Copies of this chain bind each other. A is one copy, B any other.
Amino acid sequence: MEYELGRSFLLRAPEDAELVSFINEFAEKKGIRMGIFNVIGSLKKAKIGYFDTNEGKYTVIELNETHELIATMGNISLKDGKPFAHVHAVLGDEKGNAKGGHLVEGVIFVAEIFIQELIGEPLERKPQESGLALWDEERT
């Protein structure tokens, strides 16, 4: 789907807030229905998900020490009529080893967030047989 570029935001989210909820709440408050974002910073703890196609659900890996939030990217679209952030994140431990996956939740130490609003027909997430909620496919 083709979009126009809307508003751009760069900000630091509050320490101890939960990152995924923060992005959802920010989008709702600002009226952002579609967008993309990225984040760098550090998380005090995190739950990352690996989608198990056999089980049809996410396996959750818990990281209970502070990790660098190295590369976080995602998009905002509609789910059940409300803005919904889909967030993926790479995290690094004190030896620099990288872990990552779908970000289920993360408690912020530092989060510098860039959000770019997209203007146009919203994409809507719909439940699939796989267990995921996805947009319709677009073919070339």
Contact = CB atoms under 8 A, between A and B. Distances in A.
Interface of A: 1-5, 7-15, 22, 25-26, 29, 34, 36, 38, 40, 42, 48-53, 59, 61, 63, 66, 68-75, 77, 86, 88-90, 92-102, 109-110, 112, 114, 118, 123, 132, 134-140
Contacts of A89: 70-71
Contacts of A63: 96
Given A10-B123, A90-B100, A110-B132, A68 B42 contact: no
Contacts of A48: 92, 96
A68 B40 contact: no
Contact of A100 (B50, B92, B114): B92
Given A48-B96, A70-B89, A100-B71, A3 B9 contact: yes
Contacts of A7: 2-3
Given A2-B8, A135-B112, A90 B86 contact: no
Chief secondary structure at chain A's binding surface: strand
A118 B71 CA distance: 20
Given A53-B66, A93-B50, A8 B15 contact: no
A62 to B, nearest CB: 9
Contacts of A123: 10-12
Contacts of A50: 68, 92-96
